[in-house]
Structure 1
Amino acid sequence: MSRPRAQLVVDRRGALALAASIVASLTLLFAAGISGCQAQREPAPSAGSASPNAGKVAVDTKLVAFLSKARAANHAADLAIAKGDRRGAITQLLRVTEGPRPTLSPEVVEVLADAHARLAELWSEEGEFVEASREVEDGLELATEVTLFRANLFMARGIVEERRMKALEAKGDEKGAAAARDAALQALDTAMTLQERVIDQALAPEPVE
């Protein structure tokens, strides 16, 4: 039985770096495919010969475009936040989670999960806790495997609940604040447990052939 794919332990912006890396890799593959085909180009094949498309590198343009869009959206969100426009940052990231996307793959799920986690934190900073919780739930429905991205969604839930707790304390709602505190602690504990499992997977020895 093959070992689960090792996950690198990075911060919640890991999917942005992932998107950049995948876009760069696929772009290089695409370029290599073109140059390889040009270098091996011969006169038109005769009947019964191999297809002229043989040897070309297949590139999923939908995936590359989506990952590139996600990277751009994160940069745009950073710029909006830098000038104090959290709503503008939210609008940019919603283009990733609510816009067109390719068929779900591990890369797509990771980028979407990261965007949902970031949106949850931004909504909670705005005091919009219903929207923040919805973003976490949407992300968890996508990121079902034991990965750092699922863990980061639980961390985002913990942050959302901590902010909810403080907002309720400010209103004098001690019972509600206590419930939010408990929810925050539970979510953060789950996040740490998942990250420990990710680390264990990464440190596990390679299977012997």
Structure 2
Amino acid sequence: MRSRDSLAFVVAAALSFATLVGVGCSERPVQPCVCEQSPAVDAPLMAFLSKARAAHHQADLREQAGDRKGAVEALEKVVDSTVALGERAEVREVQSDTLARLSDLRGQQGD
């Protein structure tokens, strides 16, 4: 009989503990993830990336036509438009690629 009382006590204690833990957990406020505050790619960034892609395409066409000056002008628009977007990694990467390409084109022109 004593083992049955001990078993009942252990079961009651375990249920009480589980209930207390469950209540304690349910009262914690749920903190939103930092990444949920803003989308990873917003509209201004998408617009910039689209314009940069178009400018590089235009520069490709002008370079193929032998118009290096026109290619430089197309790419300078990309570099000039990055100021408003700040220090985002995607913007820095596009700007770095564009500056490297501008350097190559200017070197071919003798600038």
Q: TM-score range by the shorter chain?
A: 0.5 to 0.7
Aligned partner (choices 91, 106, 109) of residue 123 of structure 1: 106
Structure 1 position 108 matched with structure 2 position 99: no
- The code of the aligned residue for 2:104 comes to E
User: How far off its partner does 1:102 sit?
Assistant: 1.1
Task: Give the alignment of 1:62-77 within 5 angstroms.
Answer: 62-77=44-59
User: How far off its partner does 1:118 sit?
Assistant: 0.1
Equivalent position of 1:82 in the other structure: 64
Q: Deviations over 1:110-160 (max 9, x none)?
A: 0000000000000010100xxxxxxxxxxxxxxxxxxxxxxxxxxxxxxxx
- The code of the aligned residue for 1:113 comes to S
Aligned partner (choices 31, 37, 43) of residue 61 of structure 1: 43
* Secondary structure class of the residue paired with 2:52: helix
- The code of the aligned residue for 1:69 comes to K
Equivalent position of 1:91 in the other structure: 73
Which whole-Å CA distance do the structure 1 matches of 2:98 and 2:79 have between them?
7
Which whole-Å CA distance do the structure 2 matches of 1:119 and 1:90 have between them?
6
Task: Give the alignment of 1:37-56 within 5 angstroms.
Answer: none
Aligned length: 73
Could you tell me the TM-score, scaled by structure 2's length?
0.61
User: How far off its partner does 1:99 sit?
Assistant: 2.4
Largest Rg, 1 or 2: 2
Identity of aligned residues (%): 45
Structure 1 unaligned runs (5+)? 1-54, 129-209
Q: Deviations over 1:62-96 (max 9, x none)?
A: 11111111100000000001110000000000000
* Secondary structure class of the residue paired with 2:85: coil
Which whole-Å CA distance do the structure 1 matches of 2:87 and 2:62 have between them?
28
- The code of the aligned residue for 1:72 comes to A
Bigger helix share: 2
Which whole-Å CA distance do the structure 2 matches of 1:82 and 1:118 have between them?
14
User: How far off its partner does 1:104 sit?
Assistant: 1.6
Could you tell me the TM-score, scaled by structure 1's length?
0.33
Structure 2 unaligned runs (5+)? 1-35
Which whole-Å CA distance do the structure 2 matches of 1:115 and 1:92 have between them?
10
The CA RMSD measured in Å over matched residues stands at 1.7
Equivalent position of 2:19 in the other structure: none
Deviates more, 1:101-110 or 1:117-126: 101-110
